[in-house]
Each structure stands twice: as C-alpha cells, then as structure tokens.
Amino acid sequence: MRFSTFLAYLALVTAIAAAGVSALMWLLPSTRTHLYFTVGVVVAFIALCIGLFLAGKRAAVSTSKHLFTQLVIGSVFGKMLGSLAFLLIYREEAKPENAWYVGIFLLIYALYTAFEVWFMTRLAKS
C-alpha cells in the first residue's frame, strides 16, 4: 500500500470518527465538556497510525522474519499503556465533571484499532 493511499483511508477513518463524536456531542450535551480531550485523542491516534504504518512498511520488507511480529506486539502493548496513561492524566489534570470521556475514548480507540488491524494486515501480505 502506498503512503498516499494510506493517508486517504486515514482521512476517511478520521471523518467517520469526527462524525460519530459530533453526533454524540449533539445528542448528549454533557459530552461537550470533553471537546478538547476528544481532539487530543484523535490527533494522538492519527500520529500513532502514521508512525505504525511507516514502521510496518519497513518491517514488512526487512530481512528479519520476526521484526513485523515484534512490531505488532510492541504496538499493542504500547498502545494499551499509552491509552491508560492518557485517560489517567486527563482525569487527574482536568477533573472532568462526568465520565463520558471514557466512552468517547473507547469509541475512537475501537475505530482506529480496527483501521490499524486492517492496514497492518495489508502490509503483512505485501
């Protein structure tokens, strides 16, 4: 997969995430207090996807047969720890008045994780 194709799919996933979160914030006004958190989460996942795509592209053509597998395992573990840290830091620093930020985070997390699985699978086949 070419980088330009990846970026087009990433833009589509980001548009879907934005539409979903916008609808949620329109339907549930109490979620609007987490707008900046939501933008931060989306930006973080965009950066993570780009970094993972570039690393995956290199690992897929590497002479080491285990490099791609190690990258996948490391990215899953790193994303889980980073996500937990992101949520805990937000909770401690922003002191949110409700827990909707967790639901918003999980929605975005699930969407970008599905996208990562899809493009990493395509990279592994190439």
Res. 126: pLDDT tops 80: no
What count of other Cβ atoms lies within 10 Å of the Cβ of residue 94? Answer: 13
Q: What is the mean pLDDT of residues 53-67?
A: 90
Domain ranges in the chain are 3-125
The string of pLDDT tens digits covering residues 18-37 is 999 999 999 999 999 999 99
Q: What percent of the chain has pLDDT over 90?
A: 90
The string of pLDDT tens digits covering residues 86-112 is 999 999 999 999 999 999 999 999 999
pTM of this prediction?
A: 0.92
Q: Which is it for the CA torsion 8, 53, 125, 16, positive or negative? A: negative
In terms of Cα–Cα distance, which of 9, 126, 109, 106 is closest to 60? 126
Q: What is the mean pLDDT of residues 8-15?
A: 98
Residue 29 per-residue DSSP state: G
What count of other Cβ atoms lies within 10 Å of the Cβ of residue 30? Answer: 10
Q: What is the mean pLDDT of residues 65-92?
A: 94
